[in-house]
Amino acid sequence: MKRKVTFLLAVVLIAAMLIVGCSGQPAQTETPAENPKTEEEPKESGPSVFKYGFTGWWPDSKNPYLSSYAVSTSTYHDSVYEPLMGLDQNLELTGRLAEDWEVSEDGLTWTFYLRKGVKWHDGEDFTADDVVYSYKVNKEFQLPRWYSSVKDFTEVNKIDDYTVELKTEKPKANILDAMCDIVPEHIFGQYDTVEKALSFTNDNPIGTGSLIFVEDAIDEYVRFKANDNYWGGRPKLDEFLFVYFTNGDTLIQALEKGEIDLCSVTAVQLPHVEKLSGIAINKYDSLTLYELGFNAWEDPASKGNPLILDPTIRNAIDWAIDYDTMIEYAMGGLASRQMSLVPNPVGKWSWQPGPDVIRTYNPEKAKEVLEEAGYKDTDGDGIREDSNGNKLDFRFSVIEADYKDQALIIEQNLKEVGIKVNIEYMDDGRLGDIIENQSFDTDMYIWGWTADYGEPSFILSVMLSSEIGGRSDCWYGNPEYDELYKLQAITVDEDERVEIVHKMQEIIYRDSPYNVMYTQTKVQAYRSDRWDNLQQWPDGNGGLLNYYTKLAVSPK
């Protein structure tokens, strides 16, 4: 009897397990190892399918007017739509939908000669009307995504079917700063009010790009096929898939297994991935910079500690922090020290502090700077005060999921020089709220930006006083800086412009509304046993998911 019950239990449990197991692998016994391989089989006979695995957010919209997440651009828009011009692998200006271009003597009129014979994915001809429409609609409707790029144009004229003229009031230093995605007028034209234009879901994006949209499933994947008629030649692959993952470790397992061909790798995963065979690693310096930001808002409404408005203290904080240790422990070595606002890989636009102004880790120097400025610890509690007894005691808002380790190092480093910080953990929504809606109710925070290749104006714009309440997150304001920004935007002579842009970064370094900490070194891994000719952009030190890879990558 006893044995019978135990036996029954065993049978029940095994049966239950089998039900679970079988429901998962119905064909396992009949056709061993055939089904799981179906994904790999087409490689030999069928189409070649390149799969890029990504984590993070799912793209917010296929509507190119509207989407505000960077991931929407990297998945949909960069594959389907094209601007007039872009940057080649050496970061030189190159024509995309424009074959050639010229600027008038006074620098106020830009003429673009469009490629002939380019067709939209639905077979319609691409003409000057599409370009005129795209520029006009973005400007007139103040559409969120491209408005800042197109707002300077006073006139957009069609000269003939393949020539377009753009006019500005002031010369434009870099026309690259004025590009927007060109959309087909015959599709978008019918959405003739702002409301209609923005609520258009664009379920089947039609562009001119090298990839043609096939289908997508929200939170699962986006599927593209090669554009046979692409003006730059047909891509070497047949299909390109973006596969969504919500877990970074599953992503790496999928790469190892071969369910995907290319993905990003974190510092923690890297040692494991490096050991895998058939997988190659691409490390490059990204344009993503991280900053220790301060409440630099000088308005009386600011709820920050007024002491943090003193650049001397912000400078001293820079002297006091051991960034090398931070990069090693908090970033697993995958970062490069960065001091100026424009990241080093942007090239000539990036300024480097000279030996007379550079601040490197030196706690003694930090103490000296603070002593000189009159911040002394008179009551012996380890925290410095100003002459009125106000303590150097700051609130530090930290996005816990992203910057906890960095914050702990900063807290410790600052304690050593007599500055107290109180870490408050939060998410990015809360941090945005503290700055935007609660009159900047904190003193310090950590955040980041991603700059652009070839053109510094975006990253420089975050320090403008006109961006307070907009893009700015430290609410720094400096009339001199604002003037220089306007000046560089219209300085056509490049050497002259570089000088202005450097001067601006020097001001920021001197005033320290941010202490820029480092730029992230990004790592990607791909199946080198299956694919050849992945391209770096920019060449030599760049990522693999780009326009050039989509064209050139080919199965082995």
Partner 1 sequence: MNMRFIINRLIYTIFMFIFVITLNFFLFRLMPGDPLTIVSKEIASSPEGRATMEKMYGLDKPMIEQYFDYIKSMITFDFGTSFNYKQPVTEILFSKIKNSLILGFASVPIGIVIGLLGGIVAAARRGKRTDMVITTTSMIIYAIPTFWLAMIFLMVFGVKLGWVPINGMATPGVDFVNNIAYLKDLFYHLAIPVLSYSLAIFGSYLLIMRGSMVDVFTEDYVLTARAKGLTEKQVIRRHVVPNAMLPVSTMIISSLALIFTGAFSIEVLFSWPGMGRLMIESVSRRDYPVMQASNYLIAVAVILANFIMDILYSYIDPRVRVE
Subset of residues 174 to 203 that bind partner 1, contact rule: CB under 8 A: 194-195, 198-199, 201
Which residue among 34, 36, 360, 372 contacts partner 1 (CB under 8 A)? 36
Binding residue (CB under 8 A) for partner 1 from 246, 325, 352, 390: 246
* Site stretch for partner 1 (CB under 8 A), options 4-12, 118-126, 353-361, 511-519: 4-12
CA distance 313 to 401: 27
Nearer to partner 1, 239 or 322 (CB): 239
Q: Residue 401: phi, psi to the nearest 5?
A: -65, -25
Contact mark string toward partner 1, 126..165, x via CB under 8 A: ---------------xxxxx-xx--x--------------
16: contact with partner 1 by CB under 8 A: yes
Specify the residue, 57 or 364, whose C-beta has the smaller distance to partner 1.
57
For position 448 contacting partner 1 by CB under 8 A, the verdict is yes
- Distance, in Å, from the CA atom of 275 to the CA atom of 269, rounded to the nearest integer, reads 11
- Asked if 287 touches partner 1 (CB under 8 A), the answer is no
Among 84, 132, 226, 243, contact with partner 1 (rule: CB under 8 A) = 243
Positions in 468-487 near partner 1 (CB under 8 A): 469-471, 473
- The CA-atom distances, in angstroms, between 418 and each of 11, 93, 318, 323, 362 are 69, 50, 14, 18, 14
Q: How far is CA 291 from CA 36, 250, 308, 406, 518, in A?
A: 46, 30, 16, 11, 7
Backbone angles phi, psi at 503, to 5 degrees: -60, -40
| Residue from the set 120, 188, 245, 453 that interacts with partner 1 by CB under 8 A | 245
- 133 within 8 A of 139, measured Cβ to Cβ: no
Binding residue for partner 1, selected from 91, 212, 241, 551, defined by CB under 8 A = 241
Mark the segment that binds partner 1 (CB under 8 A) among 63-71, 228-236, 410-418, 529-537. Answer: 63-71
* Cα 191 from chain centroid (whole Å): 30
d(CA 452, CA 286): 10
Query: What DSSP string describes 44-94?
Result: TSS--EEEEEE-SPPP--S-TTT--SHHHIIIIIHHH-B-SEEE-TTS-EE
Q: Exactly one of 328, 372, 433, 494 binds partner 1 (CB under 8 A); which one? A: 433
Choices 296-304, 406-414, 441-449, 538-546 (CB under 8 A): range interacting with partner 1: 441-449
d(CA 404, CA 507): 29
Near partner 1 by CB under 8 A: residue from 254, 327, 460, 498: 254
Q: Which residues pair with 102 in a beta bridge?
A: 111
CB of 319 to partner 1, least distance (A): 28
Closest CB to partner 1 among residues 164, 431: 431
- Cα distances (angstroms) measured from residue 230 to each of 174, 179, 210, 536, 552: 27, 20, 6, 21, 13
Binding residues for partner 1 restricted to 389-408, rule: CB under 8 A: none
Stretch that binds partner 1, among 107-115, 124-132, 167-175, 243-251 (CB under 8 A): 243-251
Piece in contact with partner 1 (CB under 8 A), picked from 12-20, 95-103, 166-174, 510-518: 12-20
Side chain identity at residue 109, one-letter code:
T
Among 101, 113, 425, 458, binds partner 1 (CB under 8 A): 458
Write down the least CB distance from residue 234 to partner 1, Å.
19
| 244 lies in the binding site for partner 1 (CB under 8 A) | yes
**Closest separation in Å from C-beta 68 to partner 1:** 4
Half-sphere exposure of 409 (CA within 13 A, CB side): 21
Interface region with partner 1, contact rule CB under 8 A, candidates 53-61, 181-189, 388-396, 411-419: 53-61
Other C-beta atoms within 10 Å of 333: how many?
12
Write out the H or E segment, with its range, that includes residue 490. Answer: helix 479-490
For the bound state, the minimum distance from the C-beta of residue 275 to partner 1, rounded and expressed in Å, comes to 14
Q: Which is nearer to partner 1, 28 or 89 (CB)?
A: 28
The separation between the first and the last C-alpha atoms of the chain, rounded to the nearest angstrom, is 64
- What DSSP element (H or E) covers 235? none
Nearest to 127 by CA among 112, 105, 143, 107: 112
Q: Which is nearer to partner 1, 119 or 471 (CB)?
A: 471
In angstroms, the CA 50 to CA 551 distance is: 12
Using CB under 8 A, which of 154, 190, 250, 390 touches partner 1? Answer: 250
Asked if 104 interacts with partner 1 (CB under 8 A), we say no
- Positions 338 through 397 that interact with partner 1 (CB under 8 A): none
Q: For partner 1, which residue of 61, 79, 305, 524 counts as binding (CB under 8 A)?
A: 61
Collapse the DSSP code of 168 into the 3-class scheme (helix H, G, I; strand E, B; otherwise coil) and give the result: strand
Binds partner 1 (CB under 8 A): choice among 218, 228, 275, 493: 218
Contacts with partner 1 by CB under 8 A: the residue count is 91
28 binds partner 1 (CB under 8 A): yes
Cβ–Cβ < 8 Å for 78, 95: no
